[in-house]
Amino acid sequence: MTTIGIVRHGITEWNLLGIAQGSSNIPLNKTGREQAIALSERLAAEEDWDLIIASDLERAKETAEIIGAKLDLPISHFDTRLREMNGGEIEGTTEDERVAKWGAGWRSLDLGMETREAVAERATAALQDIVKDYPGKRVLVVSHGGLIGLTLQSLLPEQFTKTLLDNTSITILKNAEDAWQCPLYNCTRHLDGKVFAQ
């Protein structure tokens, strides 16, 4: 049984402002770093992990580095397949700006966005490689909300018809004999009762 703990990165200024990030390289803000520290403290008190793999985008990379430092865990590598969905022309815009520029039906336009299917396909391939390369290990994967959600919907469509992932949430996937299970979804109990400076 291989266990994968999928973590959404900490919060960024663009998250707070409702700006589409996609593949833009946006860093964590102060709150995002504090969230990552809170998660790292929770993980340190729970079961051991063997290694970390992360998206190479700064917000995921920094989250992974904070966790790795606390757990004294190596970051095996940064995998571009774990990047957030490429948003094409919508990156750097808010919903109001998109409606003003392209109209309420902007989602139906060809604005250079990566398809949901393509995101799920590359992310699933990355997870399958983890199962193949680290059998029986416990691997933390730090990635992005859209990608994690689309991957869950692809791997476990009956369990996940829709998804919404919170910043620094952890979702547990287990793989045994090519069958996936998700015993924990979008858990943020490490943030309960904490007040973060904005």
Distance CA 89, CA 188 (A): 32
The helix or strand, by DSSP H or E, that contains position 3, with its residue range, turns out to be strand 2-8
CB 33 within 8 A of CB 66: yes
- Closest by CA position to 165, among listed 141, 189, 147, 190: 147
Q: Please check whether residue 181 is in contact with residue 173, taking contact to mean a CB–CB distance below 8 angstroms.
A: yes
Percent helix, strand and coil across the chain, each rounded to 5? Answer: 40, 20, 40
Residues recognised as catalytic:
9, 84
For tokens 């190479």, what's the residue? 56
Which tokens belong to 149? 């959600």
Q: State the Cα–Cα distance between residues 112 and 106, nearest whole angstrom.
A: 12
